[in-house]
């Protein structure tokens, strides 16, 4: 588990921890980076699964935190919510999330909406601390994390990369970039891919090649579910941000389809929308379910206008704040639910069972077929190039 915290003054990058409150028999030392305060970064472990650890940072006696490590087998529960921000709506979303007994939070981009005003990154950290100190928060970047300022700040993602360091250099297929990475949970039963909508994704780029290798390494006999997160949705029938994810979809959709990725979760559009299984714009029983869950509660408000009529592949859409939960129940089934902030906790506004594509014989990957498809795609591209 990686613990990251910020102090105003110099302090040791040390985390002391143990399984009993107030007792810290173990300790681990990490590194400190200076950027808008001192950012301390310590990886603790090894740890037991499904265990609550109590810990303190920089030997600060006044504050004890605790986290629960994820289970090493199924069932496994994710909370997924994008475009969180730090408004009254955000607070309400976090209250609802806090009431869930989840194992890990996934965030498909747009965290603090600091938009280059650095103190807002600090206030965001304070806002999410009660939850982010207690469970792993796995995030990928949105457009609000870019923070490039003409003439003043040429480097993109400077604050994001410094403050929200993800395990991109760990695991079986390190990506080398904090902007995209993957990891496995529940003893390898679920493979999670965090993609970067705001870094190069075309064929031949570093992200594309890494994704290709990452997908190739997945053993679907062992990994029941593969899910991916992006910021800008690849399927979207909201008037907001229409078409913004199309380029990335055209570049990478075939890779995810070939690996039988089960679901793709996006943010960016401040509303909720769930699609059927789709591929290349059409319903396809072996394509991923696409969900937009960008309704965390940011200051820009809701995206209320949807395209009329509702496309056939769009099953449910609504502009309300809320969060989603993905309960991977067993090797064949996962239950996706959307929880509206306006409702009492037990109410589920939308739900769908997602069956593992690895367990569907009709979607078994035919490698010969895929190779032929790849050759055809290559020929089509070459022809298009000639045409230009
Ligand atoms: Fe966004």
Using one digit for the tens of pLDDT, what is the confidence trace for 371-388?
Answer: 666 677 777 777 776 765
What's the pLDDT score for residue 142?
98
Q: What is the pLDDT of residue 245?
A: 98
Cis peptide before 46 (omega within 30 of 0): yes
pLDDT, one tens digit per residue, over 262-321 is 999 999 999 999 999 999 999 999 999 999 999 999 999 999 999 999 999 999 999 999
At 42-95, the pLDDT tens digits run: 999 999 999 999 999 999 999 999 999 999 999 999 999 999 999 999 999 999
Q: Judge whether 239 and 272 are in contact, CB under 8 Å.
A: no
Tens-digit pLDDT profile for residues 101-119: 999 999 999 999 999 999 9
3-state helix, strand, coil in the chain (%, to 5): 25, 30, 50
Distance in Å, CA 141 to ligand 1 centroid: 9
Q: Report yes or no: 3 and 38 within 8 Å, Cβ to Cβ.
A: no
Q: Do 329 and 75 form a contact (C-beta atoms < 8 A)? A: yes
**Torsions phi, psi for 315 (to 5 deg):** -90, -40
The string of DSSP letters for 232-301 reads S-SS--BSTTTTTTHHHHHHHHHHHHHTT--EEEE-SSSSEEEEEEEETTEE-TTSPEEEEE--S--TT-
What mean pLDDT value characterizes the chain? 94
Single out the residue of 258, 247, 251 nearest to residue 202, CA to CA. Answer: 251
- Domain edges within the chain: 2-67, 70-370
On the CB side of 306, how many CA atoms lie within 13 Å of its CA? 20
Rounded to whole angstroms, the Cα distance separating 360 from 327 reads: 19
Q: Which position has the higher pLDDT, 247 or 388?
A: 247
Q: What is the pLDDT of residue 346?
A: 61
The values of phi and psi at residue 354, to 5°, are -115, 115
What's the CATH number of domain 2-67, 2.60.40.380, 1.10.10.10, 1.10.3720.10, 2.60.40.10? Answer: 2.60.40.380
Q: Which strands sit side by side in the sheet containing 52-57, from one edge to the other?
A: 26-29, 14-18, 52-57, 65-68
Question: Is 241 annotated in the active site?
Answer: yes
Q: What percent of the chain has pLDDT over 70?
A: 96
pLDDT number for residue 379: 77
Q: What spacing in Å lies between the alpha carbon of 13 and ligand 1's midpoint?
A: 33
Q: Can you identify the CATH homologous superfamily of domain 70-370?
A: Metallo-dependent phosphatases (3.60.21.10)
Please report the pLDDT score of residue 158 as a whole number.
94
Vertex 12, ends 10 and 13: CA angle to 5°? 115
pLDDT of residue 369: 65
52 alpha carbon – ligand 1 mean position (Å): 34
Task: Dump pLDDT digits (tens) for 169-217.
Answer: 998 899 999 999 999 999 999 999 999 999 999 999 999 999 999 999 9
Catalytic pick among 40, 231, 241, 339: 241
Residue 126 Cα to ligand 1 midpoint, Å, equals 22
Summarize pLDDT for 330-342 with one digit per residue, the tens: 999 999 999 999 8
């Amino acid at each position: 588990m990686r613990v990251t915290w910020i102090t105003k003054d110099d302090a040791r990058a040390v985390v002391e921890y143990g399984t009993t409150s107030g007792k810290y028999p173990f300790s681990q030392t990490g590194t400190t980076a200076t950027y808008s305060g001192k950012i301390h970064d310590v990886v603790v472990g090894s740890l037991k699964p499904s265990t609550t650890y109590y810990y303190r940072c920089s030997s600060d006696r006044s504050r004890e935190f605790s986290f629960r490590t994820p289970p090493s087998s199924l069932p496994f529960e994710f909370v997924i919510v994008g475009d969180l921000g730090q408004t009254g709506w955000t607070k309400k979303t976090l209250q609802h999330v806090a009431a869930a007994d989840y194992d890990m939070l996934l965030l498909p981009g747009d965290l603090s909406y600091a938009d280059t005003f650095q103190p807002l990154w600090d206030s965001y950290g304070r806002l999410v601390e009660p939850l982010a100190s207690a469970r792993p928060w796995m995030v990928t970047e949105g457009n609000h994390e870019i923070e490039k300022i003409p003439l003043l700040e040429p480097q993109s993602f400077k604050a994001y990369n410094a403050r929200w360091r993800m395990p991109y250099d760990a695991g079986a297929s390190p990506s080398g970039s904090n902007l995209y990475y993957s990891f496995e949970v529940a003893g390898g039963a679920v493979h999670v891919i965090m993609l970067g909508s705001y870094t190069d994704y075309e064929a031949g780029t570093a992200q594309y090649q890494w994704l290709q290798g990452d997908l190739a390494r997945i053993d679907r006999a062992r990994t029941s579910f593969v899910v991916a997160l992006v910021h800008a949705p690849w399927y979207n029938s909201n008037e907001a941000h229409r078409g913004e994810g199309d380029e990335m979809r055209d570049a990478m959709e075939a890779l995810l389809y070939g690996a039988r990725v089960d679901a793709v979760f996006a943010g960016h559009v401040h509303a909720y929308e769930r699609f059927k299984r789709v591929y290349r714009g059409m319903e396809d029983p072996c394509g991923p379910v696409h969900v937009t869950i960008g309704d965390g509660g940011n200051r820009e408000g809701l995206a209320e206008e949807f395209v009329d009529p509702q496309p056939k592949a769009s099953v449910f859409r609504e502009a309300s704040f809320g969060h989603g939960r993905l309960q991977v129940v067993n090797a064949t089934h996962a239950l996706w639910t959307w929880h509206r902030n306006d409702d009492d906790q037990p109410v589920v506004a939308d739900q769908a069972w997602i069956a593992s594509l690895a367990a569907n014989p009709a979607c078994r990957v035919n490698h010969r077929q895929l190779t032929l498809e790849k050759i055809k795609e290559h020929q089509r591209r070459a022809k298009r190039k000639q045409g230009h």
